[in-house]
Each structure stands twice: as structure tokens, then as C-alpha cells.
């Protein structure tokens, strides 16, 4: 059985960066993270073992330093940290920073800001904060059609990991309703490259194993995309979920890790699949 790993797999730039930040800072001083650092329970558990806790608010921490994750936060968190005398180490991904800055600028320039994205996603909550809570959030063309607009000048940004086709349809709907629509395509290129790699992989193998947190929307999307190509696909979080029966008679297996999946877990998955083959032949 041949095992192929996708051209883009494992941590994206922003996640790699924030993990390095936590590792570096936690050696210097005790730190917590505001929210789980990434959508991957394996990594979150490992951090906990090192004493880095995911707190849901700044008030909850007993430490003097907290790391902001790649998704970013609304600006009032920085003010709250100052009041509580907590040192913030900012791991906001630079691509997310662009979305925040664009939303802020559009708001200051008098546009009605629309964020295309998932309302409850931490990144979107952070971005909306940069418009003093004024931005409207839409996640579907239907919402873009019906959301109450107060102005005829609309400024649009999009969540970094949002689907391009749905984003474009939302923009089209807004264009039917406004005189001016200023659009910034703030999607992150990692998402596209990874999705293209998943599609390519699915066309080359018989079975695809998508590795990543079940709560990671980018990983779930990779699973959907691979399955759509007509290949047998499985979404797992850890090698323990693998079943040897999935590989009976299979010659080529493809593996892809989500943006928050450590390379180590991908390698463990490879090893486990290889071990099935050995036990099968012995
Ligand atoms: S997916 Fe893109 S925007 Fe999000 S953390 Fe990774 S590199 Fe940054």
C-alpha cells in the first residue's frame, strides 16, 4: 500500500507562529491562552500538561500573562488586560490583522461594514469589535439579501477561511442593494492552497484520511471536498480512530492534515496505517 501525503498538510503559517509564541513565552513566564489555542484537542491537551491553560476570559486567569490566539480578539480585550494588569502576547495571525484593519478603516470612512463569515466564529467576533460592534455579519446570500442596511455605501470584508463561492454570491446580493460596494477579499491563501491540495490528492488515491479536530471548520471542509471527488474519505482526530478494515484491498491512501493539525499527528497516522499492513501480512 502506498501512502501519499498532500502537498499542503499540517499547521498553517498563523498557527505555526502562535504555537512558537506560546512555547517561547511559556519558558520565560507562566502563561495561559485566551480560548483554546487552536481547534485541535491533541495540542490543547499537550499544552495543559505544560501548565498552559485555555481560559475563557481574562478574569479567569491566575497568571500575569495571556496569549491571544491566531483568530484575534476585539480591541476591548487589550483595554481589559491593561486594567487587570495582564501582559498580552499577541498571536493574532497577520492575515487576520488585515481583516481587522480593513473593517476599522471602512467603518471610519463612513461605510456600512458587512463581514461575510460565521457570526459566532472568534475571528468574526474580533473583526466586528474593530467597528465598535457596528458591522453586520452575513454567512449566506439569503442573509445578504435580507439584512437591514442603513446606508447605500457598503464596505465588505470576509473571514479568512470562508468559502470563495459563497462570499462572491453574498457580494452580488449586496451589489443589488447598494450604490457603492467596496470589497476587500481578505481570505487567506493557505485555505485555497490546502483545499486544492485535498482535491488533487482525492483524485490520485482510493481512500483519503483527513486528520484534524472535529471542531475545526477548515478540516471539516477538507473532508467534504475530498468526499465530493467520489473517493472514500474519513475524518479522524487521532490515529486511534483508524480501522484496519478501511484499508482492505486498498493500494493507495492519501493523508491530509488541517491547518491546526500537528505534523506529528499526521506522521503517527502514517505509522499506524503501515502497522495494519504488517499485521495483515503476518
Ligand atoms: S488559516 Fe490563514 S488566516 Fe488563519 S491562522 Fe492560518 S494563515 Fe492565518
In this predicted structure, the answer to whether residue 279 has a pLDDT above a threshold of 80 is no
SS3 call for 4: strand
Q: Tell me how far apart the 2 most distant CA atoms of the chain are, in Å.
A: 71
The pLDDT > 90 percentage for the chain reads: 89
More confident residue, 276 or 116: 116
Q: Strands, DSSP E only, in the chain?
A: 2-5, 32-34, 54-55, 65-68, 87-90, 112-116, 136-138, 153-158, 180-183, 207-211, 232-236, 252-257
Shortest-distance Cα residue to atom 6 of ligand 1: 14
Per-residue pLDDT tens over the stretch 159-213: 998 989 999 999 999 999 999 999 999 999 998 999 999 999 999 999 999 999 8
Ligand 1 center from residue 23 Cα (angstroms): 19
**Is the pTM here over 0.85, yes or no?**
yes
> Tens digits of per-residue pLDDT, 16-62?
999 999 999 999 999 999 999 988 888 888 899 999 999 999 999 99
Q: Is 123 a catalytic residue?
A: yes
Ligand 1 contact via 188 beta carbon (within 6 Å): yes
Nearest atom within ligand 1 for CA of residue 17: 5
Taking CA atoms only, the protein residue closest to ligand 1 atom 5 is: 14
Q: Any idea what the Cα angle at residue 170 is, between residues 169 and 174, rounded to 5°?
A: 115
Task: Summarize the confidence of residues 86-98 as an average pLDDT.
Answer: 97
> Model confidence over 248-257: pLDDT tens digits?
999 999 999 9
Does ligand 1 lie within 6 Å of residue 161's CB atom? yes
* pLDDT value at 282 more than 80: no
- Among 28, 46, 123, 267, the one annotated catalytic: 123
Mean pLDDT of the chain: 95
- pLDDT given at position 194: 94
Mean pLDDT in residue range 205-224:
92
Distance 260 CA to ligand 1 centre (A): 9
Task: Please indicate whether residue 190, judged by its CB atom, sits closer than 6 Å to ligand 1.
Answer: yes
Has residue 77 got a pLDDT over 80?
yes
Amino acid at each position: 500500500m502506498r501512502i501519499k501525503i498532500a502537498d499542503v498538510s499540517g499547521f498553517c503559517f498563523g498557527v505555526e507562529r502562535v504555537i512558537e509564541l506560546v512555547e517561547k513565552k511559556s519558558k520565560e513566564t507562566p502563561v495561559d491562552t485566551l480560548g483554546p489555542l487552536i481547534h485541535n484537542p491533541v495540542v490543547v491537551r499537550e499544552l495543559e500538561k505544560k501548565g498552559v491553560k485555555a481560559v475563557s476570559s481574562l478574569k479567569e486567569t491566575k497568571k500575569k500573562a495571556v496569549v491571544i490566539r491566531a483568530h484575534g480578539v476585539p480591541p476591548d480585550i487589550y483595554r481589559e488586560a491593561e486594567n487587570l494588569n495582564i501582559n498580552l502576547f499577541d498571536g493574532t495571525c497577520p492575515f487576520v490583522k488585515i481583516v481587522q484593519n480593513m473593517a476599522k478603516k471602512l467603518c471610519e470612512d463612513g461605510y456600512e461594514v458587512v463581514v461575510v463569515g460565521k457570526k459566532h466564529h472568534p475571528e468574526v467576533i474580533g473583526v466586528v469589535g474593530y467597528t465598535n460592534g457596528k458591522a453586520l455579519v452575513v454567512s449566506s446570500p439569503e442573509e445578504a439579501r435580507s439584512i437591514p442596511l442603513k446606508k447605500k455605501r457598503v464596505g465588505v470584508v470576509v473571514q479568512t477561511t470562508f468559502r470563495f463561492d459563497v462570499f462572491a454570491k453574498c457580494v452580488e446580493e449586496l451589489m443589488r442593494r447598494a450604490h457603492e460596494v467596496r470589497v476587500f477579499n481578505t481570505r487567506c491563501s493557505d485555505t485555497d492552497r490546502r483545499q486544492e491540495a485535498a482535491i488533487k490528492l482525492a483524485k490520485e488515491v482510493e481512500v483519503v484520511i483527513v486528520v484534524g479536530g472535529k471542531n475545526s471548520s477548515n478540516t471539516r471542509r477538507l473532508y467534504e471536498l475530498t468526499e465530493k471527488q467520489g473517493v472514500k474519505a474519513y475524518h479522524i482526530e487521532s490515529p486511534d480512530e483508524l480501522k484496519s478494515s478501511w484499508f482492505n484491498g486498498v493500494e493507495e491512501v492519501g493523508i491530509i492534515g488541517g491547518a491546526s493539525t500537528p505534523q506529528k499527528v499526521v506522521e503517527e497516522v502514517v505509522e499506524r496505517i503501515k502497522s495494519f499492513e504488517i499485521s495483515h501480512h503476518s
